[in-house]
Structure 1
Amino acid sequence: MKSSLLAFNDKGIYCKQADVYLDPWRPVKNAIITHGHSDHSRWGHQNYITHHTNVPIIRHRLGEINVTAKEWNETFVINNVKFSLHPAGHIFGSAQVRVEHLGEVWVFTGDYKTEDDGIAVPYEVVKCNTFITENTFGLPAFKWTPQAEVMTDINNWWAENRAEGKTSILFGYSLGKAQRLLKYLDTNIGTIYTHGAIENMTNVLRPMIDLPPTTLVTRETKKEDLSGSIVLAPPSAHGSTWIRKMTPFVTGSASGWMAFRGARRRRAIDKGFVLSDHCDWYSLLDSIKATGAEKIICTHGYSDIFSKYLREIGYDARTEKTQYEGDEGETADLETAATSEI
């Protein structure tokens, strides 16, 4: 019986022929990393391989690791297995991994989205036999509004809050979402302040992305300075003592989970903006069809529901368990809230 080119085990997604793991969640000798979010790029591997734009990101998070940088579509061969990295469109530096051996081609998407956000290199369709896809938002209820419309809503919300003398606090995870928001905030409205976690990550990315100026919130920052401004902060800052000096303030969150009112209530958010760095249901289906793959492996998210639907429409689809947790650890509790409304 022919063995799979890639197998799922207790350490991650494994290519035995090359002795290489893809986004492993336990320490291994050789790891190909798709992107910089902490559930996909973990500390402890002996050797890291990733796209060169992701190198400063994972070094910022993991320290002085042993890492080899690759270009887009650059083929590198390990023990007769061909690998290459292709844009995933998820966040800046995010990649899909193409794996080829003896005429068989697999693609591991990591996390991905097909909407061009103007920051990440846009998603590239990669033809394959087997496609490993995330299902973070793998329900028909998830259908995204175009980014330009969402950003117009955010800027209007900020302007309204400013007119009322309130500080706008907008939550988004520090890598990816924060920079996407920052790029399209209207600096004519006021000053953009940042939480330290976002400021530090943004400074890592500034040499590679054109972003507007920001001001770090410090102990010396005065309440009157923040009035009418917008503050970008990670979800973990919500409810902390850090935001007390910003009173009166209004909170907003930019996330795919904001499609459900229950998710907003659970996080005690005043305003939800539906903006995701993942595919919606329809983009997932379009992506799968475009690859021409016969076999689909569904991982984190609504994998059971999504794979069942794929089988109903004729795909050879199955699920596999992983330890990918979602961006900045926010997925688990919000998924629970969202499911309660389905």
Structure 2
Amino acid sequence: MPDTVDLVVARPEGLYCPPGDFYIDPWRPAARAVITHTHSDHARIGHAHYLAHTDSAGTLRTRLGADIHLQTLAYGEAIEHHGVRLSLHPAGHVLGSAQVRLEHGGRVWVASGDYKTEADGTCTPFEPVPCDTFITESTFGLPIYRWPTQAVLFAEIDAWWRANAEAGRASVLFCYAFGKAQRILHGVDASIGPIVVHGAVEPLNAVYRAAGVALPRTLRATDADVDAALLKRALVLAPPSAQGTPWMKRFGNYADAFASGWMQLRGTRRRRGVDRGFVMSDHADWPGLQQAIAGTGAERVFVTHGSVQVMMRWLTENGLDAQGFKTEYGDEDDQETPAAAPAAEEEAK
């Protein structure tokens, strides 16, 4: 195959590597799928063979089935397939998240998957990988998105929880069950009170603990030692889908909040119908995206999802060859607040 052929192209099934004959995070069934991480928009059921980072094995099998045909690699470990040298490198998004480095015919491409650049203690931090061509996400690719530091974020969450506990109210924090929930557990001050988690969260906590991530003790709402008095002091972590369901009635007069990058926007908290919003995302913010792209040294950049046109314009203005891939990637934050993206575009104007 001539070296003029791009190492990654868009096909109806997903992002395809022609010389290697495999896909990266395909959204339709494929014979060989390299998975950057196990959020549902990137890791889908139905592929014949999966390749992912070792730390993704637990969540992949939990979500897609114990019997999937799965091969794993450690970070930096390389294999060769049809002449393409492939290795995985830390993306800092969630446990096991990886950038995919492809080398063939003297060219190096890197597909980022989803990533963030600030270390959070629950997964291996992002590392820039030098390459000629970089494929980046752009979920929060607008200048208005700038995240608070870990220290500031958790000081805010702890203060909210502490005040509610002193007032005798449960603190219900809605967050994505995989990644964000474990990041909150790792970062909060567990001495404030007990922590109760939804049934969708606890199996993923077990995967993180098995990988060596330190998480405090968590309870299920149905545990025998969980009573009304305990719940009045508790931090409760639940997925957004639990909001407004009968499961919530047990918490009585509770305070609620939502953790999402979209909370950066005015009006998002009101649309979610919660008392408080915490600006928290497992994706890079605008400065983080710029930092990550610059760190690769790439002269050519493809943008996959998010604020694609805005990011492409910024890249072009900075002298890079910028193009877009049309993909079917959504995002856990997109699913949480589907109306937020148009609002963000308006606020950026």
Query: SS of the counterpart of 2:181?
Result: helix
User: What is the Cα deviation at residue 331 of structure 1?
Assistant: 5.1
**What stretches of structure 1 move > 4 A for 4+ residues in a row?**
none
Is residue 169–residue 251 contact of structure 1 (8 Å, CA) maintained in 2?
Answer: yes
Give the alignment of 1:280-319 within 5 angstroms. Answer: 280-319=285-324
CA spacing shift, 1:26–1:178, aligned 2, 3 Å: same
Cα deviation 1:58-88 (Å, max 9, x = unaligned): 0000002000011111110001111000000
Is residue 173–residue 234 contact of structure 1 (8 Å, CA) maintained in 2?
Answer: yes
Is residue 137–residue 280 contact of structure 1 (8 Å, CA) maintained in 2?
Answer: yes
Residue in 2 that maps onto 1:191: 194
Residue in 2 that maps onto 1:164: 167
User: What is the Cα deviation at residue 22 of structure 1?
Assistant: 0.3
State the Cα RMSD in Å: 1.4
Cα deviation 1:25-78 (Å, max 9, x = unaligned): 000000000111011110000000001110111000000200001111111000
Q: Distance in 1 between matches of 2:347 and 2:229?
A: 40
Is residue 106–residue 131 contact of structure 1 (8 Å, CA) maintained in 2?
Answer: yes
AA matched with 1:303: V
Is residue 138–residue 305 contact of structure 1 (8 Å, CA) maintained in 2?
Answer: yes
Cα deviation 1:86-113 (Å, max 9, x = unaligned): 0000011100000110001100000001
Ranges in structure 2 where 5+ consecutive residues have no aligned partner? none
AA matched with 2:249: R
Matched residues, number = 342
Cα deviation 1:295-332 (Å, max 9, x = unaligned): 01011100111111111121110111111110262253
Query: SS of the counterpart of 1:261?
Result: coil
Residue in 2 that maps onto 1:333: 339
Q: Distance in 2 between matches of 1:242 and 1:124?
A: 40
Is residue 23–residue 41 contact of structure 1 (8 Å, CA) maintained in 2?
Answer: yes
Residue from 12, 37, 40 that aligns with 1:38? 40
TM-score between both structures, scaled by the size of structure 2: 0.95
CA spacing shift, 1:187–1:219, aligned 2, 3 Å: closer
Query: SS of the counterpart of 1:34?
Result: coil
Is residue 135–residue 304 contact of structure 2 (8 Å, CA) maintained in 1?
Answer: yes
Q: Distance in 2 between matches of 1:61 and 1:301?
A: 24
Residue in 1 that maps onto 2:50: 48
Residue in 1 that maps onto 2:68: 65
Give the alignment of 1:11-160 within 5 angstroms. Answer: 11-63=13-65, 64-160=67-163
Residue in 1 that maps onto 2:326: 321
CA spacing shift, 1:35–1:169, aligned 2, 3 Å: same
Q: Distance in 2 between matches of 1:224 and 1:239?
A: 22
AA matched with 1:51: H
Q: Distance in 2 between matches of 1:22 and 1:312?
A: 29
Residue from 218, 236, 239 that aligns with 1:231? 236
Query: SS of the counterpart of 1:31?
Result: strand
Residue from 274, 294, 309 that aligns with 2:279? 274
AA matched with 1:268: G
Residue in 2 that maps onto 1:244: 249
Is residue 37–residue 327 contact of structure 1 (8 Å, CA) maintained in 2?
Answer: yes
Q: Distance in 1 between matches of 2:336 and 2:136?
A: 20
CA spacing shift, 1:219–1:239, aligned 2, 3 Å: farther
Q: Distance in 1 between matches of 2:171 and 2:325?
A: 41
AA matched with 1:339: E
User: What is the Cα deviation at residue 219 of structure 1?
Assistant: 8.2
CA spacing shift, 1:26–1:331, aligned 2, 3 Å: farther
AA matched with 2:322: A
Ranges in structure 1 where 5+ consecutive residues have no aligned partner? none
Q: Distance in 2 between matches of 1:309 and 1:45?
A: 36
Give the alignment of 1:173-184 within 5 angstroms. Answer: 173-184=176-187
Q: Distance in 2 between matches of 1:196 and 1:334?
A: 27
Of residues 233-242 and 127-136 in structure 1, the stretch that sits farther from structure 2 once superposed is: 233-242
